[in-house]
């Protein structure tokens, strides 16, 4: 049975689309047939991060309005065989999405796909509500700073009350925390909330901690999801997060500041002198 995952947050710019792209690649690379849908109507970015912007002919709204079939709109990823992208429209507004239309698209995808990843727009407007409505699980993306965490807390309230499962009395969807742009050095300096601070406020299971990394920007600019960069800390952290989502026990990395080799060398010599 298909599983629908919404990647959401209250605040913009925290890494939802980066997370949606990397998570979808991670699932597909493990052999799961995966679709990733951009719900940010009018401001689409998923196609850029996936490197398929020049291949967009039809979009999510075209399918909902019956102007194209789902097969016409889906774009097969160039790098991952089991991954397909459904882009958002750049020329329509949020009202172009309807509950019935979204339901029909998800139902059709559910016939052949194992996972559907819904890349939600920021905030609590219509696109975000529709992205979460049919979800089975949510990845709540937040940065370790007060306004981002507070807005994510607001989203948790909506996830517990505004989904189809909640309305039908079937219980809450599963919730997972993904902390992005984490810098142990800045935490130590008091410039950033610690992991413990964020956990205390949101109190949902921790799925992953993505370190602050230039690799994320490089990946976005090159149109290749950062998880593909297996040499980068961020790419490895996303791979770990996917593994945890699938039930594997993976230790958390990148929670401590890396020691520079010169710093370690001088520390060793000081100990020798003593």
pLDDT tens digit sequence for 95-113:
789 999 999 999 999 999 9
Give CA torsion, residues 187, 189, 192, 196, to 10 deg.
40
Which is more confident, 89 or 21?
21
Contacts of 48 (CB under 8 A, 6+ apart): 220, 223
Residue 251: DSSP 8-state: -
Per-residue DSSP letter, 164: H
**Total Cβ atoms within 10 A of residue 83:** 26
Global confidence as pTM: 0.92
Q: State the chain's mean pLDDT as an integer.
A: 91
3-state secondary structure of 181: strand
DSSP codes joined into one string, 52-77: -GGG-SS-HHHHHTTSS-HHHH-EE-
Higher per-residue confidence, 247 vs 11: 247
CA separation for the pair 219, 216 (Å, rounded): 5
Instruction: Read off the tokens for 93.
Output: 């507004």
Residue 110 is predicted with a pLDDT of 97
pLDDT of residue 261: 46
pLDDT digits (tens, 9 = 90+) for 39-75: 999 888 999 999 999 999 999 999 999 999 999 999 9
- Of all residues in the chain, what percent carry a pLDDT higher than 90? 81
Output the pLDDT for position 259: 58
Q: How would you classify the pairing of strands 137-142 and 174-182?
A: parallel
Top-confidence residue, 94 or 90: 90
């Amino acid at each position: 049975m298909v599983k629908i995952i919404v990647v959401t947050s209250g605040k913009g710019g925290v890494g939802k689309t980066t997370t949606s792209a990397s998570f979808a690649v991670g699932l597909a690379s493990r052999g799961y047939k995966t679709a990733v849908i951009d719900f940010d109507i009018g401001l689409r970015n998923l196609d850029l991060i996936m490197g398929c912007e020049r291949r967009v002919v039809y979009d999510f709204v075209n399918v909902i309005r019956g102007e194209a079939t789902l097969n016409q709109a889906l774009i097969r990823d160039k790098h991952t065989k089991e991954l397909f992208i459904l882009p958002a429209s750049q020329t329509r507004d949020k009202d172009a999405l309807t509950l019935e239309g979204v339901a029909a698209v998800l139902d059709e995808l559910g016939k052949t796909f194992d996972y559907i990843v819904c890349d939600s727009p920021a905030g609590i407007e219509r696109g975000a509500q529709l992205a979460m409505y049919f979800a089975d699980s949510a990845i709540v993306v937040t940065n370790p700073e007060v306004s981002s965490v507070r807005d994510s807390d607001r989203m948790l309230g909506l996830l517990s009350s505004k989904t189809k499962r909640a309305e039908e009395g079937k219980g809450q969807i599963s919730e997972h925390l993904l902390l992005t742009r984490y810098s142990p050095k800045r935490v130590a300096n008091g410039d950033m909330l610690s992991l413990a601070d964020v956990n205390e406020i949101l109190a949902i299971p921790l799925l992953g901690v993505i370190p602050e990394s230039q690799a994320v920007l490089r990946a976005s600019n090159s149109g290749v999801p950062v998880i593909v960069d297996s040499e980068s800390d961020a790419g490895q952290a996303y791979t770990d997060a996917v593994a945890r989502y699938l039930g594997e026990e993976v230790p958390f990395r990148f929670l401590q500041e890396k020691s520079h080799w010169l710093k370690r060398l001088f520390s060793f010599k000081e100990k020798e002198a003593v």
